[in-house]
Amino acid sequence: MRSEARMDNAQTLLHRLRQRGVILQAAGERLRFAPKHAVSAEERELLKRHKEALLAILTATSVAVQEAVVGELRHSSSPGPRRGYAGPWPDELPGLGRRTVDFFDACADCWGPGQRWSWVRYGGVVLCLTCALHRVGATR
């Protein structure tokens, strides 16, 4: 019961931070967030208190996105018609618009040492494949 309460509190904290545009990522056994100035001292303490649950949530999300990418790649390489024009890339993202291609730039949702780059944009927002699929999963 106690771990379920921690998970609920961690999800609430994660949701509250994301609503304000704070990006929270699991980096091994560490939590990384940006922008730093957008997180209060009280929220930093909550991040420490709920670190284990937050890492579990963020890791589960990452695994789900990775599995979605692998599944889409398998589907796109199987015989028969491909879904969409560009294989696993969504043709459109709700709230952003249709996929376009432009100059190579940093993904808007990735940050830090492992930041990915892409040619793909949705309504002018540069997204790598993983982040585009994550946004599709977040809207379902």
Backbone phi and psi for residue 55, each to the nearest 5 degrees, phi listed first: -60, -40
Whether pLDDT at 43 is above 80: yes
Of 20 and 41, the one with more pLDDT: 41
Whether pLDDT at 41 is above 90: yes
pLDDT tens for residues 7-35? Answer: 558 888 888 888 888 888 888 888 988 88
Q: How far is CA 126 from CA 40, 63, 74, 115, 118, in A?
A: 29, 22, 24, 12, 7
pLDDT for residue 83? 47
3-state DSSP assignment of residue 134: helix
pLDDT for residue 47? 94
pLDDT tens for residues 79-122? Answer: 444 444 456 788 889 888 888 888 888 888 887 677 788 888 99
The domain segmentation of the chain, as residue ranges, is: 2-77, 92-139
Q: How far apart are CA 128 and CA 102, in angstroms?
A: 13
Question: What would the mean pLDDT of 33-55 be, rounded to a whole number?
Answer: 90
Name the amino acid, one letter, at 27.
A
pLDDT for residue 84? 47
Whether pLDDT at 74 is above 70: no
